[in-house]
Amino acid sequence: MRVFKVVLCYDGTDFAGWQRQSNARSVQADLEDALAPIEGRAVTVAGAGRTDSGVHALGQVASFRLTNPIGARELHQALNATLPEDVRVLNVEEAPSGFNARFSALSKVYRYRISNSRVMSPFQRRYAWHIPRSLDLAEMKKAAQALLGEHDFAALQAKGGKVRTSVRTVTRSDWSEEPLPGGGRLLVYEIAGNGFLKYMVRNIIGTLVEVGDGRRPAASISDMLASRNRQTAGPTAPPSGLYLVRVDYDAAAPVSFS
């Protein structure tokens, strides 16, 4: 059996998330359902990041095994011909036999978009969090810096997380801004790290927005992390602003055939 690595882009609006669920639409199920007729039997897909309901992806990575001798290019076309328009396969390649999109991942990049404008553009309503009030971006940038490095992120983890350790390393955490065509500005947060806890990015955003609102000093982030207490962090930001941008693997490992 050969292992395939696929890169996916999806508009998460109409999905209950990545993971297959019994009574709701998921990206994993759509992909598995598109693969089953190709393979002639059920195929199980592993996803690098289990994005939550309403969260988008620009570069989700999934892997699966096939006995069908189909080529990467043909498989790419067949999947895009079958999948609904809100999920697209951007790349297909054969991977080494031990490759697993989830367990082989070395780091991920997430992006969060805030429409900081008086009126929310109809074109942004599914793709950003609307915050009409003024935000102190300079303070939000300072607070974002405090997340860099290895920390126990227990304070920013959803309750009920089942991971062995909540220690993660963040290698990038910064804000940028760009003007919006209809007025106001788009605030864009990017975070890279070796792993992310459930709701971690959305809890970071909820906390950094409290800093931007002047309700929490930027210097308080270190104490918040040290507390390991979810109560000390801000609320969970809405899913519509969040994007899984990229998943990185050992560059030497995957073998590209596409």
Alpha-carbon gap, residue 82 to 11, rounded angstroms: 16
User: Which CB sits closer to a copy of itself, 146 or 192?
Assistant: 192
- Cβ of 161: how many Cβ atoms within 10 Å? 14
Minimum distance of a copy of itself from residue 170's CB (angstroms): 23
Q: Is 114 in the site for a copy of itself (CB under 8 A)?
A: no
- The answer to whether 80 contacts a copy of itself (rule: CB under 8 A) is yes
Query: What is the distance of C-alpha 248 from the center of its chain?
Result: 13
Checking DSSP bridges between strand 2-10 and strand 149-152, what pairing results, if any? unpaired
Q: Does 11 participate in binding a copy of itself (rule CB under 8 A)? A: yes
How far is 130 from 9, CA to CA, in rounded Å?
Answer: 23
Of 66-74, 88-96, 161-169, 198-206, the window that binds a copy of itself (rule: CB under 8 A) is 88-96
CB of 192 to a copy of itself, least distance (A): 17
- According to the binding rule CB under 8 A, does residue 58 interact with a copy of itself? yes
Choice between 70 and 120, CB closer to a copy of itself: 120
Q: Does 78 bind a copy of itself (CB under 8 A)?
A: no
Q: Is 102 in the site for a copy of itself (CB under 8 A)?
A: no
Catalytic residue from among 14, 30, 33, 52: 52
> What is the DSSP secondary-structure string of 185-212?
EEEEEEEEES---TTHHHHHHHHHHHHH
Q: Which one among 42, 178, 181, 231 touches a copy of itself, defined by CB under 8 A?
A: 181
Q: Cα separations (Å) of 56 from 43, 112, 232, 250? A: 23, 10, 27, 24
- Binding span for a copy of itself by CB under 8 A among 46-54, 82-90, 187-195, 207-215: 82-90
Task: Name the one range near a copy of itself by CB under 8 A: 101-109, 113-121, 146-154, 208-216.
Answer: 113-121
Contact between residue 41 and residue 105 where contact means Cβ atoms under 8 Å apart: no
Q: Is 88 in the site for a copy of itself (CB under 8 A)?
A: yes
Active site residue 52: yes
Element containing residue 222 per DSSP (H, E): helix 221-227
Among 182, 227, 228, 258, binds a copy of itself (CB under 8 A): 182
Does 188 help bind a copy of itself (rule: CB under 8 A)? no
List the one residue from 29, 34, 35, 87 that touches a copy of itself (CB under 8 A). 87
Task: Looking at 19-176, list the stretches that DSSP marks H as alpha helix, in order from N- to C-terminal side.
Answer: 27-39, 72-82, 137-145
Q: CB burial class (10 A; 0-12, 13-18, 19+) of residue 188?
A: middle
What distance in Å separates the CA atoms of residue 150 and residue 63, rounded to the nearest whole number?
A: 28
Q: Determine the Cα–Cα distance for residues 246 and 255; give it in Å rounded to an integer.
A: 18
Q: Where on the chain is the footprint of a copy of itself (CB under 8 A)?
A: 9-11, 56, 58, 80, 85-90, 119-123, 125, 127, 181-183
Catalytic residues: 52
